[in-house]
Structure 1
Amino acid sequence: MTIIRSRAGRRGVLLVAALSAGALALTGCTPEPATSQTAPEWELTARTAAPSGDIDSFSWASYAEPYSLDYAYAFDYADNQVLANVCESLLRLNPDYTLTPGLAESFERPTPTTWVYTIRDGVTFHDGTPLTAADVVASMSRHLDPAVGSSWYSVYQNVTSIEQTGDREVTVTTAIPDSQFNLGMGGSAGVVESAATLEEKGADYGNSTGLVNCTGPFELTEWKSGESITLTRYDDYWDDALKAKSGEVEFVFLNDATARVNAMTSGDVDGGWMLPVDGIAQLQATSGEVSFGLSTAASDLIVSNLEGPLGDVRVRKALLMALNRDGILEAAAKGYGEVSNALTTESVWGEASEATRAAAFDGLEEYPYDVEAAKKLVEEAGATGQKIVIATAPISNDFAVISQATVAAAKSIGLDAEIETVTPNAYTALFSDPSAREGIDLFYTIWYLSSPDPLEMYAVLRTGEFSNYGNWSDPEFDAIANEAVGIDDAEARAQKSAELQRIANEQLPWLPLFTGPTTVYQGERITGVAPSIAYLYYPWAAEIGAR
């Protein structure tokens, strides 16, 4: 849904996609359940067929041009799907959402407040210079520099020092035990760049002029602003298992969803992530392949103003009950997914026991579609006739579906409601600039997690967190979240996260709508990708070769 990223935001989480292509008009009521529709048949795929061999090049459609390829600001889909193939992190986030060694060949936690990373030997940057511990220190330290204003600062918020403590050793010290820090090293927060390049490029680093100089299987060789980005295979890449099978990859910026589908069906572009749902059937009719994969993203309405009528939890509950989420899922996502009452997906609870995972999801308040009961809650809260404003942007049809359905739902329960349409860039600013949210009560996000831990989501909602956009505050929630951050054992930490999930379900600081799979298309020329939202940090393009 949106394009640019914040400069001081919360980690690995995000917003948006460009999901739907066709036009759909919603009039005075929220969509009715799609009882006459048959839910589409789809299944999750862990990996597509292996390539038959290498390929000279392939092209890839992106819904937007990256805001920046500076890892400190790479905080959205368009940025990270490119950067994942060029730059690497201390740890590697794999398609199954496990973490394994990356540029750090190993790590240890000798004390509750120190993380020690042993830096891999024999790795070179794309300019041929060797990776050193000093490069790691320089890259990580940028997240602590207020002048940089990193979007990933919150991963580092408890860090007190980053030091080279050996020839190939870096030690990070935190003020308190912080389980989440190391988990963040598999995403952009853990990216390592050449210290010399950072100094040389300065303010141009990561833009279309300065480019980047990293260690990944592809080198960033050209960025035509407004048009495309070209990556070229780096022949001296250190990891033989992930040496690129394509000599070149071209990312083509196609903002219009219909244009993206047409480019893929015609063969003008070989593939793309985040398929417009209205185009999936059209793409499935080609000789290429549509795949559905693991996702950590949840579609939600962020409550960004608790000083208005939505400050009363009864009104928040009423609005969610007035939204026919089954109908919205059909209209916005063509049924690819399921209605959710949580702000996380089960895919990030992989280290939790079955019992803990069940405790996190079973028995949550379901908020069934019930306009009359919702209207009574609004009356009880004394909010009848009060106004809310929903922000939207002309990015994709799911924006139109959800904003119009929300306005209709609000009006159906006695609230006054209107849509404020802004530009895509202005919409992105809602996530980074508090002044941009003035006068806005709700806005839509597809929020993904960048680590295999549900606490990443709920830590966002603590009092004072950058991405706690509505300034929601609950002392009990804060106490549990703060305790959970200090718990090293994944199962014990997940038990605390289950408590947080239940509080969020009861208090609704954000309104959960639905979840859906990661979607990807590979045309008739290519194959090999792992369909997983890990494509935002894993070098997925290196695995694509000739079909």
Structure 2
Amino acid sequence: MHQRISLSATALAAASALLLTGCFAPAGDSATRDGDGDDDGGGRIRLAMLQPPRSGLSPLSDDAFKLSRWSTAETLISLDDAGDARPGLATGWARKSATTWEFTVRDGVTFHDGSELTAEVAAHSLTRATKASPKPRILDGVELTAKADGDKVVVTTAVPDPLVPQRLSSPQLAVLAKSAYRKSGTVNPVGTGSGPYELVKVGGTSTAALDRYDGYWGKKAKAAGIDVSFVPDGAARAAAIRSGEAHIAEAVPVSQASLLDEKTITEVPMPRTNTLYLNTRRGPFKDAGLRAAAREAIDARELVEGVYENRADRAEGLLGPALPWAAEGRAALKGRTKGEAPHGAAITLATFSDRAELPEAASVLQQQLEEAGFEVKQVVREYAHIEEDALAGKFDAFVLSRATVLDSGDPAAYMQSDFTCEGSFNLAQLCDKNVDKAVRKAAATAAGDARRAAILDAEAAVLRTDAAIPMLHERVVQGDAPSVTGSTKDPRERTLVTADTRLK
């Protein structure tokens, strides 16, 4: 087994202290440190986030999940723990025909700019999402229109879509005040959400500040506000919990977990898969035999036991133990391509540094691939500086930690986005008629056992191409200081600080 190189706890602590310097400066005039010890727990919560905003906190991008985790932007529909649709800004809904749904908008909701939620405002937000370029990932392959009819939003799809309610739960389809939407096409979430916290200031890609919104339609927030710092370095996030600089830290690296008090960390099983995407359009992995050779070369046990210190599960497919039905219903995969000898084929293997384990995992993979006969060059950058090249297919292989039910709570949307010809997040550049057919069938099947079976058929179709090699399923470690209570441990990564989160 390849051995990982570890620094001493003392060295890590010293390095983290240096990295931490300046990370947690107040985000704005409202973001003060005062009140942390208030008897009623109403002080401000300091939050260390993993990735800085990539699109100016636009809700039409992946930044939407930050707005959701801060409880500032809300959607018409929410999801329960089982992934079933529940009321949000809509109090009820009904399917009127195969392609038409009606959603009743909640009364008494005001946005942070003082304007009121109406069906017309909700329809406006959805319409802007459908016209965005690029469209939000949740709308990949979906033609959708929205219009107001009294207190209802009428949503119509080009083809029957049994998951419209779940689709509208995606943070990328958050409903904001009309003032958020600019003629330029940009969307500004500052002061335009409807949640228990109002986003009041954004300090570029470094900080953000939110204040409690006393006009909230639901349960009022117990904390006075949230001070966010974006800290891509995992050692610095862990150090922030140790030092008390942060009350909550996202995604503490596995290598840092053992340095923290066990009472301050929670291991959260995630519907997240570490996958090696292989470029099927150009380069050596255009050859199915070489893709198969890469698959045969990879030993995920080394990653689980070495890099992740057994805080992860070996992958049997794209979908992991967070979806128990996947393991129960998955059949053995037969008829796979056999690997060909690489004969020194030169490949570029890339990943990003924001998740501390990924560069280390890439180094292990490099050794395994080189032992199999590939010549490997490695590229590692911050995600914000590598995503564009990855999506453009400039690498032969890319290691990604990918949430499989992030958007609608249903894996079909992830498969549509990542593995179909028109998918907007198709790192493997895959365009395979069998995959497209299987994914379309899964997306069109009504919720329930039949849909789950169709999803597993689509998974098998993807795996047969060897365009994606699932390696392991993560268990994310969240850090919570002893002084905070009520943070959410959400496998879908949609909620984190809620109205119930407070300081003791």
Q: Give the shorter-chain TM-score range.
A: 0.7 to 0.9
Higher RCO by CA contacts (8 Å cutoff, separation 6 or greater)? 1
Does residue 415 (structure 1) correspond to residue 378 (structure 2)? The answer is no
Q: Partner of 1:391 in structure 2?
A: 350
Q: Partner of 1:312 in structure 2?
A: 287
Tell me how far apart the structure 1 counterparts of residues 129 and 447 of structure 2 sit (CA, whole Å). 26
Q: Does the residue aligned with 1:122 lie in a helix, a strand or coil?
A: coil
Q: Partner of 2:34 in structure 1?
A: none
Distance 1:190 1:107, change over 3 A: farther
Tell me how far apart the structure 2 counterparts of residues 399 and 94 of structure 1 sit (CA, whole Å). 31
Distance 1:249 1:154, change over 3 A: closer
Q: Partner of 2:187 in structure 1?
A: 205
Give the CA deviation at 1:192: 0.2
Does residue 64 (structure 1) correspond to residue 51 (structure 2)? The answer is yes
Tell me how far apart the structure 1 counterparts of residues 492 and 53 of structure 2 sit (CA, whole Å). 18
Q: Partner of 2:147 in structure 1?
A: 163
Say if 1:394 and 1:400, in contact at 8 Å, map to a contact too: yes
Say if 2:320 and 2:327, in contact at 8 Å, map to a contact too: no
Q: Does the residue aligned with 1:55 lie in a helix, a strand or coil?
A: coil
Q: Does the residue aligned with 1:517 lie in a helix, a strand or coil?
A: strand
- AA aligned to 2:208 is I
Across the two proteins, how many residue pairs are aligned to each other?
468
- AA aligned to 1:55 is G
- AA aligned to 1:299 is N
Tell me how far apart the structure 1 counterparts of residues 191 and 344 of structure 2 sit (CA, whole Å). 53
The unaligned stretches of length 5 or more in structure 2 are 9-38
- AA aligned to 1:253 is F
Q: Partner of 2:199 in structure 1?
A: 220
- AA aligned to 1:250 is D
Q: Does the residue aligned with 1:179 lie in a helix, a strand or coil?
A: coil
Give the CA deviation at 1:95: 5.0
Distance 1:96 1:276, change over 3 A: farther
Q: Partner of 2:17 in structure 1?
A: none
Q: How does 1:212-291 map to 2 (within 5 A)?
A: 212-240=191-219, 243-284=220-261, 288-291=263-266
TM-score, normalised with respect to structure 1: 0.78
Distance 1:255 1:471, change over 3 A: closer
Give the CA deviation at 1:252: 1.4
Deviations 1:48-88 (A, max 9, x none): xxxx95332120111232222221123576x3565x51000
Q: Partner of 1:426 in structure 2?
A: 385
TM-score, normalised with respect to structure 2: 0.85
Say if 2:75 and 2:170, in contact at 8 Å, map to a contact too: yes
Deviations 1:76-133 (A, max 9, x none): 76x3565x51000111134554431101111111111112111111111012221011
- AA aligned to 1:262 is A
Q: How does 1:113-132 map to 2 (within 5 A)?
A: 113-132=99-118
Give the CA deviation at 1:22: 5.8
Give the CA deviation at 1:420: 2.8
Distance 1:295 1:218, change over 3 A: same
Give the CA deviation at 1:195: 1.5
Give the CA deviation at 1:189: 3.1
Tell me how far apart the structure 1 counterparts of residues 115 and 153 of structure 2 sit (CA, whole Å). 19
Tell me how far apart the structure 2 counterparts of residues 127 and 21 of structure 1 sit (CA, whole Å). 52
Say if 1:61 and 1:271, in contact at 8 Å, map to a contact too: yes
Say if 1:204 and 1:211, in contact at 8 Å, map to a contact too: no
Q: Does the residue aligned with 2:322 lie in a helix, a strand or coil?
A: helix
Give the CA deviation at 1:325: 1.0
The unaligned stretches of length 5 or more in structure 1 are 1-19, 25-51, 368-373
Does residue 462 (structure 1) correspond to residue 425 (structure 2)? The answer is no
Q: Partner of 1:195 in structure 2?
A: 178
Give the CA deviation at 1:321: 2.5
Say if 1:340 and 1:513, in contact at 8 Å, map to a contact too: yes
Cα root mean square deviation, aligned: 2.9
The percent of aligned pairs where both chains have the same amino acid is 19
- AA aligned to 1:389 is T
Tell me how far apart the structure 2 counterparts of residues 326 and 462 of structure 1 sit (CA, whole Å). 29
Which one is further off, 330-339 or 387-396?
A: 387-396
Distance 1:419 1:197, change over 3 A: closer
Deviations 1:129-179 (A, max 9, x none): 21011111111111222xx314415526432532112x2111111111123
- AA aligned to 1:129 is S
- AA aligned to 2:253 is P
Which one is further off, 389-398 or 229-238?
A: 389-398
Which one is further off, 491-500 or 222-231?
A: 222-231
Tell me how far apart the structure 2 counterparts of residues 142 and 277 of structure 1 sit (CA, whole Å). 40
Distance 1:253 1:196, change over 3 A: closer
Say if 1:411 and 1:417, in contact at 8 Å, map to a contact too: yes
Give the CA deviation at 1:514: 0.4
Tell me how far apart the structure 1 counterparts of residues 387 and 214 of structure 2 sit (CA, whole Å). 37
2:360 alignment partner, one of 401, 406, 410 = 401
